[in-house]
A and B are shown apart, each in its own frame.
Chain A
Amino acid sequence: MNKLILGRYFPGESYLHRLDPRLKLVAALYFIGLLFFVENGQGYIWLFLFTFLLMRLSGVSYSVYFKGIRPLIWLILFAVMLRVMFTGGGTIYFSLGPIMISRFGLLSGFYTFSRFIMIILISTIVTLTTKSIDLTDAIHALVKPLRLMRIPVDDFALMLSISLRFVPNLLDETQKVMDAQRARGVVFGEGNLIEQMKKLVPIVLPLFVSSLKRAEEMADVMEVKGYRSGVKRSSFRQLKWHLRDGVAIICIIILTLGVSFFNNINFVLLFNI
């Protein structure tokens, strides 16, 4: 549970930490979209360079990112293998029935690999440098137009932010209950599936009880502090646009220009052949 890096926040004060979360979110989505337009090695190298620059800027060591990739590496390699084995075209180096290894297959495998890795890295960069509450704010801001369709965006946003706020508490509590039951002789991760499921009861039940209690107490607190669903409330959390966010946009434009530049070269080369 503690090995997964994706989705965690790493406290810091780096340039990336201070960027507007709306920008980070949109930029990450844009970057992932861009990945699917790149069709040549130079383009990928260019994107990789950019990704590494971002990792550097985040102030988190490279090893943390690679630890984040590790749990997913087999999945990625599997997808890459499929790509390599079932894509034909160009010089064929090896073939056996429907399986073959071709020049195009290898290239396409490399592209798939690069896309996976960069998608993971970019999402990790965003979550490592953005507090979950800021991400919630960003999502809230981006889906605000849905209000026009009478979707209770604000209630959902508050719900999401409260849930996120309690994730650490819940993890903490899980750890405590697990410790308490281990101290009473439970050994986790042993026995067959049914035995393992049975061992979950002493964990899940107390957590359920305490979560209910917590929810009740919180509802009381919210009520006495005047929270009523559907009544208009103001917002203390304000997202502000800074100069650094403008700089980031310029970087993204340069990145895009670079990608189209490499795509063009490729285009020209292909044309000559």
Chain B
Amino acid sequence: MQVRFEHVRADYQLGPIRTANVINDISAELPTGTFTAIIGHTGAGKSSLLKLINGLLLPTAGEVHVGGLMINVKGEKQILNQVRKRVGMVFQFPEAQLFAETVEQDIAFGPINFGFTPEQTKQAVRESLDKVGLSADLLERSPFSLSGGQQRRVAIAGIMATSPDVLVLDEPGAGLDPEGRKKILSMLKCWHNEHKATTLLVTHDMDDVATYADNVLVLDHGRVASYQSVRQFFSDEDRLSELAIDMPEPLRVQRRIEQEKGIKLSQVSLTRSELAANLIKEQLL
């Protein structure tokens, strides 16, 4: 399912203070099946952009298209409900949304709200629990009795249970140890591939961008500062430093070697094995 922004603007009103144009005229098209990383500094509008996709934040101008559905300033309830059914949203620290008595009830919450029948719900719960790598004997446990990592998985299962076509992820690995992080992200990537989902990932970690995403969309002061493929994006050294964006670890080491040797490798290395291969290919060793 394609996601398309057309001249979208949005702002926040908090009491007497109005933050104008948190999103300032954004137009972008995310084709079906792509994995897009959204990056930018704190306050660049990343969370607002995510919220626009399922109408948690309504545009003050412009249109957001999700598949055949369109959200504009009116934000009709029926359309919003249909959109939310199609969009799965994993917020930062999603375990903060757990509330039910049992894991099963918590995962079933979304499916029931979206009108799944009891049988469909039951099946959806089991499937998604399996997808996130938890065993079925947790179903009767209280979500609050689980470890932090398990809670996160349950929360994610609750979102996957409705089999969304668009998956929106806000730093799904935040706060976990490196192994836990890697597991969660590769699990989400697998799901993305299997469902041919359109996925958006907000992250500060450029290694995640390099490892998982196809495209990068850079936000800066509510505008799209850059939107291109991951490889192209990281090749443009000047633009990276202009936007003050980190490099993935392998690329940073590559640049360091290049600088000290006074040479330039023909390709950018996005992963460790690419860097190793590039070093060997260019006979630097």
B-binding residues in A (CB < 8 A): 2, 4-5, 8, 10-11, 60, 64, 67, 128, 173, 176-177, 179-187, 201-202, 205-206, 209-210
A-B contact pairs, 25 of them (CB 8 A): A2-B13, A2-B14, A2-B15, A4-B15, A5-B15, A8-B15, A8-B16, A64-B16, A67-B16, A173-B96, A176-B91, A177-B97, A180-B89, A180-B97, A183-B91, A184-B84, A184-B110, A185-B81, A185-B84, A185-B85, A185-B113, A186-B113, A202-B100, A202-B109, A205-B99
Assuming the contacts A5-B16, A185-B81, A209-B144, asked whether A179 and B91 have C-beta atoms less than 8 A apart, the reply is yes
* Chain B, Cβ-Cβ closest to A213: B96
Q: Is B17 an interface residue (CB 8 A)?
A: yes
Which residues of A sit under 8 angstroms from B113, Cβ to Cβ? 184-186
State the Cβ distance, B89 to closest chain A Cβ, in Å.
4
* Chain A, Cβ-Cβ closest to B114: A185
Assuming the contacts A8-B15, A186-B113, A209-B144, asked whether A181 and B81 have C-beta atoms less than 8 A apart, the reply is no
Q: Is B126 an interface residue (CB 8 A)?
A: no
Q: Is B54 an interface residue (CB 8 A)?
A: yes
Which residues of B sit under 8 angstroms from A187, Cβ to Cβ? 77, 81
* Chain A, Cβ-Cβ closest to B111: A185
Assuming the contacts A184-B159, A185-B114, asked whether A201 and B13 have C-beta atoms less than 8 A apart, the reply is no
Q: Mark B4-16, 1 if CB is under 8 A from A, else 0.
A: 0000000001111
Q: How far is the CA of A162 from the CA of B198 in the complex (A)?
A: 43
8 interchain residue pairs of minimum CB distance: A185-B113, A180-B97, A184-B110, A183-B89, A205-B99, A8-B15, A202-B99, A185-B114
Q: How far is the CA of A120 from the CA of B123 in the complex (A)?
A: 57
Q: Is B94 an interface residue (CB 8 A)?
A: yes
Which residues of B sit under 8 angstroms from A64, Cβ to Cβ? 16
Q: Is B189 an interface residue (CB 8 A)?
A: no
| Further contacts, 4 of them, CB under 8 A, given A180-B89, A183-B91 | A180-B96, A183-B84, A183-B88, A185-B84
* Chain A, Cβ-Cβ closest to B55: A182
Q: Mark B75-114, 1 if CB is under 8 A from A, else 0.
A: 0010001001101110100101111100000000110011
Structural contact, A128 and B96, CB atoms closer than 8 A: no
Structural contact, B97 and A181, CB atoms closer than 8 A: yes
Which residues of A sit under 8 angstroms from B85, Cβ to Cβ? 185
Most A CB atoms within 10 A — which of B15, B96, B110, B114?
A: B15
Q: Is B158 an interface residue (CB 8 A)?
A: yes
Which residues of A sit under 8 angstroms from B91, Cβ to Cβ? 176, 179-180, 183
* Chain B, Cβ-Cβ closest to A210: B96
Structural contact, A128 and B16, CB atoms closer than 8 A: yes
Q: How far is the CA of A151 from the CA of B190 in the complex (A)?
A: 61
Chain B residues touching A, range: 20 to 34
* Chain B, Cβ-Cβ closest to A60: B16
Q: How far is the CA of A33 from the CA of B161 in the complex (A)?
A: 61
State the Cβ distance, A217 to closest chain B Cβ, in Å.
14
Assuming the contacts A184-B113, A202-B97, asked whether A10 and B16 have C-beta atoms less than 8 A apart, the reply is yes
Q: How far is the CA of A181 from the CA of B89 in the complex (A)?
A: 10
* Chain B, Cβ-Cβ closest to A172: B14
State the Cβ distance, A207 to closest chain B Cβ, in Å.
9
Q: Is B174 an interface residue (CB 8 A)?
A: no
State the Cβ distance, A71 to closest chain B Cβ, in Å.
13
Which residues of A sit under 8 angstroms from B54, Cβ to Cβ? 183
* Chain A, Cβ-Cβ closest to B57: A179
State the Cβ distance, A62 to closest chain B Cβ, in Å.
12
* Chain B, Cβ-Cβ closest to A1: B15
Which residues of A sit under 8 angstroms from B204, Cβ to Cβ? none
* Chain A, Cβ-Cβ closest to B95: A206
Which residues of B sit under 8 angstroms from A206, Cβ to Cβ? 96-99
Q: How far is the CA of A177 from the CA of B91 in the complex (A)?
A: 9
Q: Is B231 an interface residue (CB 8 A)?
A: no
Most B CB atoms within 10 A — which of A176, A179, A185, A205?
A: A185
State the Cβ distance, B101 to closest chain A Cβ, in Å.
10
* Chain A, Cβ-Cβ closest to B116: A185
* Chain A, Cβ-Cβ closest to B164: A183
Q: Mark B215-246, 1 if CB is under 8 A from A, else 0.
A: 00000000000000000000000000000000
Which residues of B sit under 8 angstroms from A2, Cβ to Cβ? 13-15
Q: Is B65 an interface residue (CB 8 A)?
A: no
State the Cβ distance, A3 to closest chain B Cβ, in Å.
8
Q: Is B51 an interface residue (CB 8 A)?
A: yes
Q: Mark B138-156, 1 if CB is under 8 A from A, else 0.
A: 0000001000000000000
Partner of A182, one of B84, B100, B144, B159: B84
Q: How far is the CA of A185 from the CA of B113 in the complex (A)?
A: 5
State the Cβ distance, A271 to closest chain B Cβ, in Å.
47
State the Cβ distance, A179 to closest chain B Cβ, in Å.
5
Q: Is B56 an interface residue (CB 8 A)?
A: yes
Q: How far is the CA of A210 from the CA of B84 in the complex (A)?
A: 25
Structural contact, A179 and B51, CB atoms closer than 8 A: yes
Q: How far is the CA of A210 from the CA of B93 in the complex (A)?
A: 11
Most A CB atoms within 10 A — which of B13, B84, B88, B158?
A: B84
